[in-house]
Structure 1
């Protein structure tokens, strides 16, 4: 397994977001992380990336405890694409994607032929080869998001985390981007975890869905999540109890 959470607690100030979470995410799979606003989706992603603390428990990445990894080891294991709009006027798309090679270049960041080949492949995989010499300030939100995913691919990590990658896109581009992530997970054998509010995309295009219902995280295959009743539980506000034996929710 690529990501393993063992008895994780997460908090925001004095507020508990997640408690005693135990789950894992596998290589070659695309998982959507869903939940209401403010329930800790971004906090969880940042904790898995090593960019935020856990209150208790242990995170393992590719079998190695996150707490024991050096910054360089983390950079070679997990890539993180934030939800921020990125517009870098003075750098070409090729230059932006090349930043993903930072963990592997020498101390002055000089690119070798092998690095350039990785950058070219990353742009090709996201369908942006023709944009290599263009600057991002002259591109659409969807095109820019693909470039940022290419940068994560150039980082050549087995794990990719994305925080709301479809947030600023229209519906056709949301589906196009989610389809791209699915293909990368399956064809490149990446473990990809992304947060989203698009339930239809999560259920129709993802292999599994991780649902935050504070303070619990439920992780199920997408088809089982659709039938479990957890979504109805989350958005109806009714009290319920999840039965792990039947993987369903019993309303109280």
Structure 2
């Protein structure tokens, strides 16, 4: 579904990922972990076609990323960014309808099937009753659900999210993580999201991709917890990681 083949990424003279290879499958929720500045956003941008690849290649649904024209790429990968979105003059259903742009005719007119997909996408994220509300009237968590619905309406096999829980409180973080897990499993999407929430990654995700510059370790979640990679990368004087329970604790 999503394959990295001997991929090297960086900027200037700094190499963030060097000759890394990995494969992510349909029906998987994968957390992308790493320290600040390690290259999480850089990797997501590269996969979405917005970042420069120094060496190697990325394959999306069996196609080389570099060979995909923008209109075709938009039917394979959808991206949800970390920015707070507040669109005062558009209803939620109009925002979600933007995801149908790769499929509408040259004047952007939606057909009945497009409207059905928009309604279904809102329903899948539990926002069906918000269709005729504007996003300036909603909480951060509700707005994030609407943006995920837009990505679902884009009807792509791969969805990328950059820090989707960044502005949410703890209950909403877990609720959003559970939503992403359900969508990956039920809709057979390959969902890759960057996060600093170790607890959510270890509790809800099928696999973890850990950037330990310039390496990328990808393992099923339970194996990653036992591997020592997380403990080694995030060990410091104030935080400890318990591989037995998969939890992060503040040291007393």
**TM-score if structure 1 supplies the norm length?**
0.93
Question: Unpaired runs of 5+ in structure 2?
Answer: 237-252
Q: How many residues align?
A: 236
2:135 aligned residue: 136
2:80 aligned residue: 81
Q: CA deviation at 1:13?
A: 1.8
> What is the rounded CA distance, in whole Å, between the counterparts of 1:40 and 1:12 in structure 2?
10
Report SS of the residue matched to 1:160: strand
> What is the rounded CA distance, in whole Å, between the counterparts of 1:188 and 1:194 in structure 2?
16
1:181 aligned residue: 180
After superposing on structure 2, the runs of 4+ consecutive aligned residues of structure 1 that deviate more than 4 Å are none
Written as runs of structure 1 = structure 2, the 5 A alignment for 1:1-252 is 2-236=1-235
> What is the rounded CA distance, in whole Å, between the counterparts of 2:141 and 2:11 in structure 1?
31
Q: CA deviation at 1:14?
A: 1.5
Q: CA deviation at 1:232?
A: 1.1
Report SS of the residue matched to 1:186: helix
Per-residue CA deviation, residues 127-169 of structure 1 (Å, 9 max, x unaligned), is 0000000000110000000000000000000000000000000
Report SS of the residue matched to 1:46: helix
Report SS of the residue matched to 1:94: helix
**What is the aligned-residue RMSD (CA, Å)?**
0.7
> What is the rounded CA distance, in whole Å, between the counterparts of 1:157 and 1:235 in structure 2?
33
Per-residue CA deviation, residues 200-237 of structure 1 (Å, 9 max, x unaligned), is 10011000000000000000000011110001110237
